[in-house]
A and B are shown apart, each in its own frame.
Chain A
Amino acid sequence: MAALGLALLVVCWEVAPASAEQTQSCDVPAYLLFTDSKLEKVNFAVNVTRKLDILVVGSRSSSISTAEGAAYPGRLQTLLTDKLPTVAVTVTTELRPKTTAQQMVAGLATLVAERRPTLVIWQTGTYDAIRSIDPDDFRAAVDEGVAAVKKAGADILLLNLQYSPRTETMIAPGPYLDNMRLVAQQYDIPLFDRFAIMRNWNENGDFDLFNTSPGIGLAKRVHDCLARALSTFVIDAARINPVELRIQR
């Protein structure tokens, strides 16, 4: 047992320097951005209509309270515009704090009918986890919401909870993460695994998410990095090759 412990320690020690340096990189391993599912409508919008409207539906973790523009939806618009210079990209948000998935679903179809987005990014699960809503009810609600958005004619992408180590002894994200993955698989839609990505950053030392009072800077940097990963993910899931797009022009 002691030998095992020692061996583990040695392993960790070798891993440690990487985390100690605190370089502000936020690369995401390819497997966390891998998806089989295809965003057909986004592909069409980028290649044909050249107009991509994204609607982020979510709660407070899709915003930063005192710096709205620095939150990931705003950053996503900037980054996608940079990557797809020939396409008019807009990202709008519909944030309803303290709303469970079930409550959100009610207005989702009308919302999509009114705004006519190409892609809906649905960030959910956090408030359900806080309220410890029955995971079965949560799954039913997400299922219903995804079906409604698809029926209304938009692509949909699910975005799960934040990795929040400080509240892990109070909020159990597991069942909500699992059920979101399940619905994504059933409908063959992409799931942006915000939880795993942020945990990866925390473990690699890119960000210290345990920090009790890091100020607004950390939130901004995390959102910027999330937007980077998300822009890559959307482009991959839509099977778009930005280089090709530029050559076509």
Chain B
Amino acid sequence: MTSVADPIAGTPPAEAAAPVALVAQAKAVPRSGGASKRELRLDLFRGLALWLIFIDHLPPNILTWITIRNYGFSDATEIFIFISGYTAAFVYGGAMRAQGFVVAAARILKRVWQIYVAHVFLFTIFLAEISYVATSFQNPLYSEEMGILDFLKQPDVTIVQALLLRFRPVNMDVLPLYIVLMFFLPPILWAMLRKPDWTLVLSVLLYIATWWFDLHLTAYPSGVWVFNPFAWQLLFVFGAWCALGGAQRMSRILASPVTLAIAIGYLLLAFYITLTWYVPWMHPWIPGPIEQWMYPIDKPNLDVLRFAHFLALAAVTVRFLPKGWPGLTSPWLRPVIRCGQHSLEIFCLGIFLAFVGYFVLAELGGGAVAHVLVSVAGIVLMAAAAWLFSWYKNVAGNNGGTRATGPDAGLAGGEA
């Protein structure tokens, strides 16, 4: 895995000014110039994660079976957060070296603001959706479930709590986590640029403390954050650490066949255990003590099993998908890669499309065919939108000349 290691050679297009140091660091500068300079594997997997998150947010259908959460402990959220940490550290780490702490921090906070606005925008759509459901849904079978709409009776409280990120409807938990993680990125990066390993150690200690002292953020009206930032920061910081040279230092370990064997063994084990969730008669085949120890696999607190599963997946992926893999430039993968390159926009679009998908299925009737059509249509729309963003960025970049390298550029599309 010299490769996730090798920084995204060059830089995300818009960031040309920033990471001089990083370019120097990139030992394998890609052969062809221009667009292929990015680490396309990151875009590929982030794009894939966005598609899987979208599919997982729709009602279950045949396509749900291709999502990775059915084959192991971790799911697309881990991939998304890790790659977000990686790219954020890469882009803003370079900026921090070149322009100093204050400027980089200001740019990060501007990005945080954008994500926050995106979250509020999605919340507005959500409110419209459920207000509609509240007025149109008359099914005596679900009179109890309709109790969820009670919060519409107190819109003042609900909306303020949503602005405070304490009230989060279903499926809207990733952005608040992302907001909090990005908000604390400046100090993390500051430390990471000086003592990367110690920063990672601190992150692990915070993760352990989370489990030890049950650190959490409360939510409204009750409960806790679905993704506990105290725990999930580990993946984000680990991504940042990899981006800033950690992955290179790990390359020896990652190249070892022992690592590969352990990773594959663990993935198979996780697959076997996941299988017992879906095939009840297999369940007795898990020894009781192991079951007692293993369950519940704690998603809010990023269970160690989940983290390990992600690491194993990453190790295997990096091993079998080398940086120069020709498929990365194939037109078939371009839609996914483009989605990964515009992750915030596509993420929000995905959440929105999931709402719309529900709406369509509810209004026009379900059925397996309709479900699959909605899923496929959503993915096509996401790819089309990503194509549009890329096109616009190119046009704006060509026309605007230096604009593209200005401080706003990373926010327009550089995608941390």
Q: A9 near B372 (CB under 8 angstroms)?
A: yes
Q: With CB as the reference atom, state the residue of chain A lying closest to B220.
A: A132
- A222 touches B (CB below 8 Å): yes
CA gap between A127 and B150 in the complex, in Å: 12
Known A-B contacts A179-B296, A199-B60; the reply to A168 vs B170 at CB < 8 A is yes
- A216 touches B (CB below 8 Å): yes
The 8 Å CB contact of B366, one of A60, A210, A222, is A210
- A208 touches B (CB below 8 Å): yes
Residues in A whose Cβ lies below 8 Å from that of B138: 212-213
Tell me the B63-87 residues at the A interface (CB within 8 Å): 63
The 8 Å CB contact of A66, one of B137, B140, B141, B367, is B140
Stretch at the interface among B174-182, B245-253, B277-285, B388-396: B277-285
A137 to chain B, nearest CB (A): 9
- A36 touches B (CB below 8 Å): yes
A-B pairs under 8 A by CB, number: 156
Residues in B whose Cβ lies below 8 Å from that of A11: 62
- B256 touches A (CB below 8 Å): no
- A59 touches B (CB below 8 Å): yes
B221 to chain A, nearest CB (A): 7
Q: A168 near B368 (CB under 8 angstroms)?
A: no
Residues 46-84 of A, flagged 1 when their CB comes within 8 A of B and 0 if not, give 000000000000011100111000000000000000000
The 8 Å CB contact of B139, one of A59, A172, A212, is A212
Q: Which has the most chain A C-beta neighbours within 10 Å: B219, B292, B295, B363?
A: B295
A195 to chain B, nearest CB (A): 11
Known A-B contacts A133-B222, A203-B368; the reply to A162 vs B354 at CB < 8 A is no
A132 to chain B, nearest CB (A): 4
- B384 touches A (CB below 8 Å): no
Residues in B whose Cβ lies below 8 Å from that of A205: 367
B302 to chain A, nearest CB (A): 15
The 8 Å CB contact of B142, one of A139, A162, A179, A182, is A162
For the residues of B in contact with A, the DSSP-based class is: helix
CA gap between A72 and B84 in the complex, in Å: 49
- B361 touches A (CB below 8 Å): yes
Q: B369 near A134 (CB under 8 angstroms)?
A: no
Residues in A whose Cβ lies below 8 Å from that of B291: 185
- A23 touches B (CB below 8 Å): no
Stretch at the interface among B98-106, B128-136, B315-323: B128-136
- A130 touches B (CB below 8 Å): yes
Residues in B whose Cβ lies below 8 Å from that of A214: 139, 141
Residues 174-217 of A, flagged 1 when their CB comes within 8 A of B and 0 if not, give 01001100100110000000000001001101001111111110
Residues in B whose Cβ lies below 8 Å from that of A203: 60, 368
B293 to chain A, nearest CB (A): 12
Q: A98 near B147 (CB under 8 angstroms)?
A: yes
CA gap between A205 and B372 in the complex, in Å: 15
Q: With CB as the reference atom, state the residue of chain A lying closest to B279.
A: A31
Q: A164 near B142 (CB under 8 angstroms)?
A: yes
A160 to chain B, nearest CB (A): 13
The 8 Å CB contact of B369, one of A12, A64, A170, is A12
Q: With CB as the reference atom, state the residue of chain B lying closest to A185.
A: B291
Known A-B contacts A170-B169, A182-B295, A202-B366; the reply to A134 vs B223 at CB < 8 A is yes
A207 to chain B, nearest CB (A): 9
- A93 touches B (CB below 8 Å): no
Stretch at the interface among A13-21, A110-118, A151-159, A230-238: A13-21
CA gap between A133 and B280 in the complex, in Å: 27
Q: With CB as the reference atom, state the residue of chain B lying closest to A18.
A: B368
Q: List 6 A-B contacts (CB under 8 A).
A: A8-B376, A61-B144, A65-B143, A167-B145, A168-B170, A219-B140
Residues of B within 8 A of A (CB): 59-60, 62-63, 126, 129-130, 133, 136-149, 169-171, 219, 221-224, 226, 279-281, 283-284, 291-292, 295-296, 299-300, 332, 335, 354-355, 358, 361-363, 365-369, 372-373, 376
Residues of A within 8 A of B (CB): 1, 5, 8-9, 11-13, 15-16, 19-20, 31, 34, 36, 59-61, 64-66, 97-98, 126-127, 130-135, 139, 162, 164-172, 175, 178-179, 182, 185-186, 199, 202-203, 205, 208-216, 218-219, 222
**What 10 A-B pairs come out closest when comparing CB atoms?**
A60-B144, A132-B223, A219-B141, A213-B138, A61-B144, A219-B140, A12-B369, A164-B145, A172-B170, A167-B145
